[in-house]
Structure 1
């Protein structure tokens, strides 16, 4: 697994753990949603600025995006599609 794939894997894992969609992460980081998807797929050379934005939104240290991946780990499942119900 190359570094781009490792960053993408960790970004998805951490984003899903926080319950954020790609769209919400992109909106809060002021980054295009399709860019987030390309980063998660490991096809984009992510910028330092984007890494900083992602880590700020996810409330993590940037180094967490570079963490080693356990070879027995499976990709995190996607979030449920559709809008979340409004809380009253």
Structure 2
């Protein structure tokens, strides 16, 4: 599976599980809502720093965003 799609699926699932909107996650992680949307659709390639910020905002270890569950 493409890594960008995998990360996007994981971010979307974790965000929804946390009851957050894309805007809320973006605010918590320091990104625009449009970046979160692009990421969830697999059209953005996140940097390692972005993965760390997203994981922190979601309250999970960064490696969780890369797991194929």
TM-score, structure 1 length as denominator? 0.75
Matches of 2:3 and 2:28, distance apart in 1: 24
Aligned-pair distance for 1:28? Answer: 1.1
Alignment of 1:1-88 (within 5 A): 1-69=1-69
**Which contiguous aligned blocks of 4+ residues in structure 1 show a shift greater than 2 angstroms?**
none
Give the aligned CA root-mean-square deviation in angstroms. Answer: 0.8
Greater Rg over alpha carbons, structure: 1
**Structure with greater proportional helix content:** 2
TM-score, structure 2 normalization? 0.94
Unaligned runs of 5+ in 1: 70-88
